[in-house]
Amino acid sequence: MRGPLLLLAAIAVVSFAGPPLGAALGIDLNAVDLVDRLAGPSLMHPLGTDELGRDVLMRLLAGGRVSLTIGIAAALAAAAFGTLAGLVAGYLGGWTDRVMMRLTDGIIALPLLPLLIVLAALDLRKLGVPAVLAQSDDINLIRIVVLAVLVSWTTAARLVRGATLVTRNRDFVRAATSLGAGIPHILWTHILPNVLAPLIVATTLSVGDVILLESVLSFLGLGIQPPLASWGTMLSNAQELITSAPFLALYPGAMIFLTVIAANLFGDALQQRFDRRAAAHD
């Protein structure tokens, strides 16, 4: 468990610290150099240059920042939203539960593509989003995070609902109710800690899924727009150059692979840890 966690932390630290460091050293991420394209590794460019002469290492780190931000933000937001929905549905039961379950079924079947195109085309200013935000470079990031959350909140909701159903019948919850505790208090203090374990595992696993989703969106042309780099766009762009400059595909591909597999292994190790603890308690 320590292994994957350390790897993840290392990737995160380097990705977030790298670009500011590079900027301080004077390496411009976006400096196009048409003369020095597709160069191999050198002292100036440790990983070589890409098809526009930009430093691959810096773009890789900046791309990591974007991909990791999207992954973590989407995973946390989906977990929060899903937990709320799952707690409410699981605890209240009855019609609330039925509606919630059918709603999640519907969302699972919802087509991603028209949703994303509509999101890409909406004029956010008409929706009341302040102009500064709507025109900033980060709006693309936010769009993708919103889409990822819409797609993955249902897993967390289902998990939490299931665990809530089991927990709410337990004695200590009944005791709390009979003592007059309000619903929010019960949800927060009694039920939530008991559903946390599978939730944490699912959230960790979904980080990897979101990073992969981002790369598929770039493949379809609906992802992060230039000049912002992400591992997904770097990988997609490197497809055509696969025979002439394979290293351009190797680095982002390897980073995606390492990050996702580290997240997955970490989540798996967490799950085993929780299972052992649960087994010990029962």
Kindly report the number of other CB atoms within 10 A of residue 114's CB atom: 9
Task: Please tell me whether residue 268 binds another protein under the rule CB under 8 A.
Answer: yes
Please list every residue from 119 through 138 that binds another protein, using CB under 8 A: 120-121, 135, 137
Q: Which of 24, 25, 26, 114 binds another protein (CB under 8 A)?
A: 114
CB nearer to another protein: pick between 80 and 274: 274
| Shortest CB 261 distance to another protein, Å | 4
Task: Please tell me whether residue 265 binds another protein under the rule CB under 8 A.
Answer: yes
Q: Label each residue of 18-86 as H, E or C.
A: HHHHHHHHCCCCCCCCCCCCCCCCCCCCCCCECCCCCEHHHHHHHHHHHHHHHHHHHHHHHHHHHHHHH
Per DSSP, what are the bridge partners of residue 49? 55
Burial class, 258, CB count within 10 angstroms (exposed 0-12 / middle 13-18 / buried 19+): middle
Task: Please tell me whether residue 98 binds another protein under the rule CB under 8 A.
Answer: yes
User: In this structure, is the dihedral angle defined by the CA atoms of residues 123, 126, 132 and 138, taken in order, positive or negative?
Assistant: negative
CB nearer to another protein: pick between 51 and 80: 51
| Shortest CB 80 distance to another protein, Å | 23
- Alpha helices (H) along the chain: 2-25, 56-92, 94-109, 112-121, 131-134, 139-167, 171-178, 183-185, 192-219, 231-237, 246-281
Task: Please tell me whether residue 244 binds another protein under the rule CB under 8 A.
Answer: yes
| Residue window 210-239: x/- pattern of binding to another protein, with contact defined by CB under 8 A | --x--xx--xxxx--xxx----x--xxx-x
Instruction: Give, as one character, the DSSP assignment of residue 224.
Output: P
| Shortest CB 237 distance to another protein, Å | 6
Task: Please tell me whether residue 20 binds another protein under the rule CB under 8 A.
Answer: no
Number of C-alpha atoms within 13 angstroms, CB side, residue 30?
Answer: 4
CB nearer to another protein: pick between 142 and 268: 268
Residues at the contact surface with another protein, assessed by CB under 8 A: 30-32, 34-35, 37, 51-52, 98, 102, 105-106, 108-111, 113-115, 117-118, 120-121, 135, 137, 208, 212, 215-216, 219-222, 225-227, 232, 235-237, 239-245, 249, 253, 256-257, 260-261, 264-265, 268
